[in-house]
A and B are shown apart, each in its own frame.
Chain A
Amino acid sequence: MKNFLRKNWIDFVAVPIGLFVFVAPFVLIFLTSTKNAEESFQFDFSLGEEFLLWQNIKTVLATNDGIVIRAFINSTIITFISVVLIVIVSSMAAFVFSRRPGKWTTFANVMILAGLIVPPAIVPTIWVLQKLNLFKTMQGLIFIEVAYSAAFAILIYKSFISSIPKEIDEAAAMDGCTGFSLYRRIIFPLLMPVNVTIIVTTSVAVFNDFTNPLYFLPGNENATVQLTLFYFQSAYLTQYNLLFTDILLITIPPLIVFIIFNKKIVSGLTAGSVKG
């Protein structure tokens, strides 16, 4: 026993600290969402007199004609369509840019760098959206999400595609399979490991996005999940149980993604990101 302790002392220090620092805040979210309004104002790590989680969830979902349900539907639609578009259009572009050096590819590399660094110009973007009749529409926000995530996605796809041997395309081209059909039938099926990375990172980013819906999709009928948090914060100043129930509900989708893809996220990112 003594030997066991001495050998694994790092675990006995690291695990409690890890739990305390990284898990405790989530425990607080859960506990607060099970209390009544008065108890929730105590902000402490205790259970209330009654376990009111289900009741709080019902109240949150019924609030303001179901604004949270509407927000969940909106956010799900936006996230799903954005992710599908990002995967298709960025991998297509990355395929060309990693296979065909030239003026346009050099230009694209500069654009990718710009897309990663340059902060978006907000009001001019609203102006463009208005000209296209896309301001305050879900389509508008979807285009924005695609535009803002494209640089990162193309970068990751490019570094993966460059590891696919060129001989494969040459063999296919010999058989007359070029351009889009080469991409769709030969390359895309090989991209599955990176697709997982891109799907996980962009779906979480779009679902958790607060700033872009705030600017480009205002209005209660267009609510997205992150904006409902502000709704609960301002409308029910003292009902922290409802605010935290909303936080809990919003944390569930990322939690599911995390449970399914935990191992792949780490390995996928490490395969793509740091290549010096």
Chain B
Amino acid sequence: MTKSKSKKKIKSPYSYRLAAPVGIIFLVFFIIPTIVSFFFSMTRWTLFDWEFIGFENFIQYFKEASLAIGFKNTLIYGVVTSGLKVIIGLALALLLTGRLRAKGFLRSVVYFPVLVSTIGVGFTFSVLMDPNYGVINKAIVSLGKSIGWETYGPGWLVDPNLLPLFSVAFVDVWKGVGMATVIFMAGLATIPREYYEALEVDGGGAWDKFKNITLPLVQPATAAVVILSFIGGLRSFDLIWAMTNGGPGFLSDVIASINYKQYQAGFYGLATAGNVILLFFVLAITGPIYWYFNRKEQEA
């Protein structure tokens, strides 16, 4: 014991070797592909052979309408899903930590969709949203009839405008809001009861409590929900692919689904350029949000 102490370097009981297995897997299957993607995004690529073409892929991505639409749609999808998850998730968390008797039951019901297959959920809602046979439109039609209004109901997933994108975003919120609710519930649990009691003594109402205590103190949870759902929403692919295939036409295509289409068509260089674009897109949006919440937390 005394001998080893006299040496300059004491061997740490925490060897970095323990981190090697995950480090190697992460390096080979995540970091290296990310690094080489910058190079291959500037090539015409067949996986066996490549030809350097500079920024041509990127120019094509910005020029072609069927590709450029991805930026707008991805942004809309991210903003809508993460905004609704914050609002509905916080409302549900308040409800489920309040004086409800059926708390446990509703908590389970709200959380279960998080665990279910995205593709299965997508197919189920495609059926519910079918313009002619779907339950949603059947209900709208019969409701319309009862008040004397002739309607077919909207074409949730087939209208040639932004509606299909919003419909998919809505299903995304349905499936993911349970996660947001759990995070908010954890945040609410950290707020001391005394704060509310003190405000009650001062004669503050329910709205004052929400605005002056709940909202500011639940901020770390809000940050987590916003950032997590933006990261997820901006790269979302499977739900859109299951419900609309990016259609009608390419009106509900997002960057991730466009990249898959380019990959399928064998345009590997272009698909990789799309990947690099998605990377900068995600960084450009989550970066400022992260910074904003971090700064606010330090101020508080």
Residues of chain A touching chain B, judged by Cβ–Cβ distance below 8 Å, are: 8, 10-11, 14-15, 18-19, 21-23, 25, 28-29, 32, 41-45, 88-90, 92-93, 95-97, 99-100, 104, 108, 111, 114-130, 132, 143-144, 146-148, 150-151, 154, 169, 172-173, 178-180, 182-183, 204, 208, 210-211, 214-215, 225-226, 229-230, 233, 240, 243-244, 247, 250-251, 254-255, 257-258, 262, 265-266, 269-270, 273-276
Contacts and interface: CB of A to CB of B under 8 A. Distances in A.
Interface in B103-141: 105-113, 115-121, 123-125, 127-128, 130, 133-135, 138
Interface string B27-70: 01111111011001000010100000000000000000000000
Given A25-B125, A111-B31, A124-B33, 18 more contacts: A10-B99, A18-B109, A22-B109, A22-B174, A28-B135, A92-B21, A97-B19, A115-B26, A118-B283, A121-B37, A125-B29, A179-B13, A179-B17, A210-B117, A210-B238, A229-B123, A254-B115, A274-B186
Contacts of A204: 115
Given A208-B117, A262-B108, A270-B186, A14 B34 contact: no
Given A146-B25, A251-B116, A270 B47 contact: no
B98 interface: yes
Contacts of A130: 47
A158 to B, nearest CB: 11
A146 B186 contact: no
Residue of A25, A92, A120 with most partner-chain B CB within 10 A: A25
Contacts of B13: 169, 172-173, 178-179, 182
A270 B186 CA distance: 5
A276 to B, nearest CB: 4
B272 A124 contact: yes
B111 A126 contact: no
A120 B36 contact: no
A89 to B, nearest CB: 4
Nearest to B105: A15
Given A90-B22, A257-B115, A123 B127 contact: no
Given A179-B13, A229-B120, A269-B186, A121 B272 contact: yes
A25 B124 contact: yes
B231 interface: yes
B258 interface: no
Given A89-B22, A251-B116, A115 B30 contact: yes
Nearest to A8: B101
B155 to A, nearest CB: 15
Contacts of B19: 92-93, 96-97, 104, 108
B95 A226 contact: no
A119 B117 contact: no
Given A90-B22, A211-B237, A122 B263 contact: yes
A274 B220 contact: yes
Nearest to B236: A211
A178 B113 CA distance: 43
B271 to A, nearest CB: 5
A240 B127 contact: yes
B213 to A, nearest CB: 16
Interface string B204-247: 00000000000000001100100000010011011000100000
Interface string B238-277: 1000100000000000001001100100001001100110
Given A127-B33, A180-B18, A226-B119, A22 B40 contact: no
Nearest to A265: B111
Top 5 nearest A-B pairs (CB, nearest first) are A270-B186, A121-B37, A178-B13, A124-B33, A147-B29
Name the residue in A111, A127, A180, A265 with the highest tally of chain B Cβ atoms < 10 Å from its Cβ: A127
Contacts of A225: 117
Given A14-B95, A89-B21, A270-B189, A210 B119 contact: yes
A265 to B, nearest CB: 7
Contact of A15 (B37, B102, B115, B278): B102
Contacts of B119: 210, 226, 229-230
A42 B128 CA distance: 11
